[in-house]
Structure 1
Amino acid sequence: MILAVWVPLLMPFVAVPAARRLADALRPVHAVRLLVATGIGLALCSLTALTLLVVPGATRLPAVAALGELVGPLSGITPAPAVPLAATALVLLTGCAAAVGLTARRHWTELHRAAHPGGELAVLRDSRPDAYALPGRPGIPGRIVVTTGMLRALDPAEREALLAHERAHLTGRHHLLVVAAEAAALCHPALRALRAPLGYALERCADEAAATAVGDRRVAARAIGRAALAARAAEAVARPRPRVALAAAAGPVPRRVAALLGRGAPRRFGRAAAATLLACLVVSGTAALDAASDLHSSIETAQGENPQR
């Protein structure tokens, strides 16, 4: 159990390099699904490992031992480090739970503040170019917010592509995937590195939706490039966006434009990167189950030493 329990805590460090290649190596929708599954799966396995580290130390306490009907120490558990490890793991678990809870509450509060009843499109009278997708909440749908400055910066076809991009963020509920990645990052520090590839993959999903909507990849690429340039030029004086907003001008725009025009990075490493992430999930989950099984056997052995049983 002692060896297996560390595998889920180390596996995220192996997954991160493969995740960085994945966003360019797979189709965006597949990359998003795998990155989200990897982040959530590895985070859950890490939390399971921390929980398993708490149990041996906790059973050293008389009250816990009596509750579990234990009359002897757990077999295969070294007594000396058990209590310090349990205390450290408990602190980490408590910190993770508090951080995830605060993040979920903050996101819900921001959705309530940002959501306003109305149509799908809100045009702000502002000469500063900006556009973003503002997620909704139950009972109030999301909205596309665009300034008059952004509308003037684009021609009609480019406006259609920009609106289609933002609409894809809303219909795909991309803000929930971003929150899931943030929650996973709070459970393991290595998983913070998954947020950038996921953000890029989400923007690529919206880019592809825009290209499909207008029927011209070059128009979509031009719209994203021009929108990003216009927004960046006005960045110093632009009004702050709500934190839950997703914008077409975000992320590595040159890479996204190159991908739309078919000049992106080669995809020959896609299967290898995907296989690596899947292997990390399988190994981490298997190790967590193995450690849990060993701990359960140790508890049953300790209970079986009771002559009254």
Structure 2
Amino acid sequence: MHLAVYLPLLFPALAGLSAEPLARRLEPRLATWLLTASGLLLAASGTLVLGLLALAGLVRIPLVDTLKGYSPEVIARQDPAAWPAALAGAVLLALAVLAAVRLAARRAGALWSVALEAACLPGPGPVVVTDDPGADAYAMPGLPGRIVISHGMLDALDPAGHEILLSHERAHLRHHHYAFVSLTQLAAAANPLLRPLAGAVAYTVERWADEHAARHTGNRRAVAETVARAAIAAKHGGGRGFSPAAALAFLGRRPRPGMVPRRVAALLAPPPQSRPLLLAAAAALLAATGLCALEAALDLHRFLELAHTR
């Protein structure tokens, strides 16, 4: 096994460094799809490579050689992977699988809890207004999903802001933004180098909803003002924290510092456009990742066939 086996373990670091520029410069919907697909492919490729390294070390165990009929001489001569690399691969593989399974179980439980709570909210309509004097608004995925808005948030915005807020939250539900956030968080659990990418997707889904509201109203400045007012009201409104933690986790609503000003600045700028060079660079990185993982798998397969025939 050659250098190709180690490159998919390094590409996620490059993806993490490029996630923020891609999130800022690409159209939000395109950026969300691209970053999510990239995170899943990079996490899967890295996990596959760790499995290959662990397997390359496993076949060097004498008991395994005897059971499978491998030639110890061929294995010793070919040396598919050094013991330290194989051992590290096995340990990292176990940690990655454990972290991914734990997060998947937690997210599935959270989604079920949110869906049940959404179904139990009062009223038949998709929008629920609470008596909370604090300013808050969020979307709860479910069948059907619900939009929850507090009286405090309604008081903080004018009627035009109410329509913008509803359009923003409807976009979260209609386009299943919680799924994009959850999938990238799952990829980051399997490979911590992808955490910046998961954070970028938490930003791009908000930008996607912002652009949806801007197209719906036809007034980007009004959407920018509403985003700023809603953020200020939510920060200083003294709400009771009615929002379920699961809903916050799914939609990434614990914003990182500077997210709201970046959203406002993006709305005050011209609508974002697709950038072919950035897309080509991202496609090249993903293609290289897939090819390296495939080459590593074929290399190990050829080695095992050679060891089995001697």
Paired position in structure 2 for 1:286 = 291
Note the alpha carbon deviations across 1:214-252, whole angstroms, 9 max, x for none: 232222222211111100112576445423333889451
Question: 2:54, 2:93 → 1: CA distance?
Answer: 9
Question: 2:297, 2:185 → 1: CA distance?
Answer: 27
8 Å CA contact 2:168, 2:213 repeated in 1: yes
Give the % identical residues: 40
SS in 2 for 1:60: coil
Question: 2:108, 2:80 → 1: CA distance?
Answer: 44
Question: 2:133, 2:239 → 1: CA distance?
Answer: 13
> More helix per residue: 1 or 2?
2
Q: Answer yes or no: is 1:132 the counterpart of 2:105.
A: no
Range 173-182 or range 112-121, more displaced: 112-121
Aligned length: 298
- The one-letter code matched in structure 2 to 1:135 is P
8 Å CA contact 2:114, 2:246 repeated in 1: no
8 Å CA contact 1:224, 1:248 repeated in 2: no
Paired position in structure 1 for 2:102 = 102
Note the alpha carbon deviations across 1:175-227, whole angstroms, 9 max, x for none: 11111111111122211111221111111100011112223222222221111
8 Å CA contact 1:133, 1:247 repeated in 2: no
Question: 1:247, 1:182 → 2: CA distance?
Answer: 10
Instruction: Structure 2 unaligned segments of length 5 or more: list them.
Output: none
Question: 1:5, 1:166 → 2: CA distance?
Answer: 43
Describe the shift of the 1:247–1:162 C-alpha distance in structure 2 as closer, same or farther (beyond 3 A): farther
Q: How big is the shift at 1:92?
A: 1.6
Instruction: Structure 1 unaligned segments of length 5 or more: list them.
Output: none
Describe the shift of the 1:235–1:202 C-alpha distance in structure 2 as closer, same or farther (beyond 3 A): farther
Question: Pairwise mapping of residues 270-281 of structure 1 onto structure 2 (< 5 A)?
Answer: 270-281=275-286
Paired position in structure 2 for 1:163 = 166
Paired position in structure 2 for 1:11 = 11
Question: 1:157, 1:287 → 2: CA distance?
Answer: 52
Paired position in structure 2 for 1:303 = 308
- The one-letter code matched in structure 2 to 1:50 is L
- The one-letter code matched in structure 2 to 1:128 is G
Describe the shift of the 1:101–1:165 C-alpha distance in structure 2 as closer, same or farther (beyond 3 A): same
Scaled by the length of structure 2, the TM-score of the pair is 0.88
Paired position in structure 2 for 1:143 = 146
Question: 1:131, 1:77 → 2: CA distance?
Answer: 59
Question: Pairwise mapping of residues 59-138 of structure 1 onto structure 2 (< 5 A)?
Answer: 59-72=59-72, 73-74=74-75, 76-77=78-79, 81-82=82-83, 84-115=84-115, 116=117, 117=119, 118-136=124-142
Question: 2:202, 2:20 → 1: CA distance?
Answer: 11
Describe the shift of the 1:78–1:207 C-alpha distance in structure 2 as closer, same or farther (beyond 3 A): closer
- The one-letter code matched in structure 1 to 2:269 is G
Q: Answer yes or no: is 1:226 the counterpart of 2:229.
A: yes
Range 229-238 or range 93-102, more displaced: 229-238
Question: Pairwise mapping of residues 164-243 of structure 1 onto structure 2 (< 5 A)?
Answer: 164-234=167-237, 238-239=241-242, 241-243=244-246
Range 112-121 or range 233-242, more displaced: 233-242
Q: How big is the shift at 1:254?
A: 1.6
Question: 1:247, 1:92 → 2: CA distance?
Answer: 27
After TM superposition, what 4+ stretches of structure 1 lie above 6 angstroms from structure 2? none
Paired position in structure 1 for 2:38 = 38
Note the alpha carbon deviations across 1:106-146, whole angstroms, 9 max, x for none: 1121222222315311111011000011111xxx3211111
Scaled by the length of structure 1, the TM-score of the pair is 0.89
Question: 2:241, 2:102 → 1: CA distance?
Answer: 28
Question: 2:80, 2:298 → 1: CA distance?
Answer: 17
Describe the shift of the 1:67–1:277 C-alpha distance in structure 2 as closer, same or farther (beyond 3 A): farther
Q: Answer yes or no: is 1:153 the counterpart of 2:156.
A: yes
- 2:266 pairs with 259, 272, 296, which one? 259
SS in 2 for 1:244: helix
Question: 1:111, 1:31 → 2: CA distance?
Answer: 24
- The one-letter code matched in structure 1 to 2:228 is G
